[in-house]
């Protein structure tokens, strides 16, 4: 059983606490209860690198979304420890790739802007992101479902390589061949955004998984997809205000 359903918003708005609690945490607990009651052979849950890490000195979630994912991971581990439900949690880094139809996210927003000859408006661009290509993430879920030693584990799924938003955007400018400038500092950076980089040793040792698609290759594939599809196919899927790479307004990085 793969559980990826989630209300995704990294906004720091108090009005999101209840809907995200219900949509993410309560629904996940309901799923775990049903899976345990019916003897599900395995449940693989999509966590997030937005969750506070195990080694964090003062683990405080940065948003209602991060809190919901953190608590879901705790419930999954509890169900495995107390009632022997085979659970696996994948703490996924920042996923990108073709068919991401959400122009509130950094990469779709920047690509579509550059292809249209428009200057992206971003925050400082100094935050470091761990990007992971969608095909690599799919392989991680398959491994989590099949590897005998996976149940009970929590695994980081990412490249393990930090990349500044500024450098990512410059890479996209090179791939698209765009000469359009980028307005860094046009919007404020989002509060409490931290650079969370995947620690992939356990994913490699236990799941036999590692990211294979290099960032430049993955971005080239992604740009090619957007170049072949109209911008009308890439639209925001949520009514939440856009967020950019940790920045309020325009689209963004982060959940």
Q: Is there a domain that residue 24 lies in?
A: yes
Mean of pLDDT values over 229-255: 46
Q: What pLDDT score does 230 carry?
A: 67
CATH of residue 131: 3.40.50.720
Mean of pLDDT values over 71-84: 98
**% helix / strand / coil in the chain, to the nearest 5?**
40, 15, 45
Q: Is there a domain that residue 95 lies in?
A: yes
> Which one of 94-98, 231-235, 241-245 scores highest in mean pLDDT?
94-98
Q: Is there a domain that residue 199 lies in?
A: yes
Q: Is there a domain that residue 255 lies in?
A: no
Determine contact, residues 177/115, Cβ cutoff 8 Å: no
Q: Is there a domain that residue 118 lies in?
A: yes
* Number of domains comprising the chain: 1
- Is the pLDDT score of 253 beyond 60? no
**Per-residue pLDDT tens digits for 166-193:** 999 999 999 999 999 999 999 888 777 7
Q: Is there a domain that residue 34 lies in?
A: yes
Local confidence band at 233 (pLDDT 50, 70, 90 cut-offs):
low
Q: Is there a domain that residue 253 lies in?
A: no
Mean of pLDDT values over 140-159: 98
Local confidence band at 144 (pLDDT 50, 70, 90 cut-offs):
very high
**Per-residue pLDDT tens digits for 206-228:** 999 999 999 999 999 999 999 99
Helix, coil or strand: residue 16:
helix
Domain holding 104, by residue range, is: 2-248
Q: Is there a domain that residue 254 lies in?
A: no
Rounded to an integer, what distance in angstroms lies between the CA atom of residue 218 and that of residue 199?
Answer: 20
Tokens representing residue 203 in the block: 């994913």
Q: What are phi and psi of 200, to 5 degrees?
A: -95, 5
Rounded to an integer, what distance in angstroms lies between the CA atom of residue 212 and that of residue 161?
Answer: 12
Determine contact, residues 2/141, Cβ cutoff 8 Å: yes
Mean of pLDDT values over 53-68: 80
Please report where in the chains the tokens 């290099």 appear, as a residue: 214
């Amino acid at each position: 059983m793969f559980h990826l359903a989630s209300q995704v918003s990294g906004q720091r708005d108090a009005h999101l606490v209840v809907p995200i609690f219900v949509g993410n945490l309560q629904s996940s607990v309901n799923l775990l209860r049903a899976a345990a009651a019916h003897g599900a052979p395995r449940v693989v849950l999509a966590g997030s690198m937005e969750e506070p890490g195990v080694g964090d000195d003062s683990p405080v979630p940065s948003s209602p979304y991060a809190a919901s994912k953190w608590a879901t991971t705790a419930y999954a581990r509890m169900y495995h420890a107390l009632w022997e439900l085979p659970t696996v949690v994948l703490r996924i880094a920042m996923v990108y790739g073709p068919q991401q139809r959400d122009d509130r996210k950094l990469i779709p927003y920047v690509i579509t802007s550059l292809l249209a000859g428009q200057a992206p408006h971003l925050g400082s661009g100094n935050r470091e992101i761990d990007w992971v290509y969608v095909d690599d993430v799919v392989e991680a879920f398959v491994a989590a479902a099949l590897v005998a030693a996976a149940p009970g584990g929590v695994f980081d799924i990412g490249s393990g390589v930090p990349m500044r938003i500024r450098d990512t955007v410059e890479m996209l400018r090179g791939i698209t061949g765009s000469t359009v400038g980028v307005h860094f500092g046009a919007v404020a950076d989002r509060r409490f955004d931290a650079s969370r980089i995947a620690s992939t040793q356990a994913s490699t040792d236990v799941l036999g998984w590692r990211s294979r698609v290099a960032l430049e290759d993955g971005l080239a594939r992604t740009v090619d997809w957007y170049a072949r599809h109209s911008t009308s196919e890439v639209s925001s899927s949520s009514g939440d205000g856009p967020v950019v790479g940790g920045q309020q307004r325009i689209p963004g990085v982060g959940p």
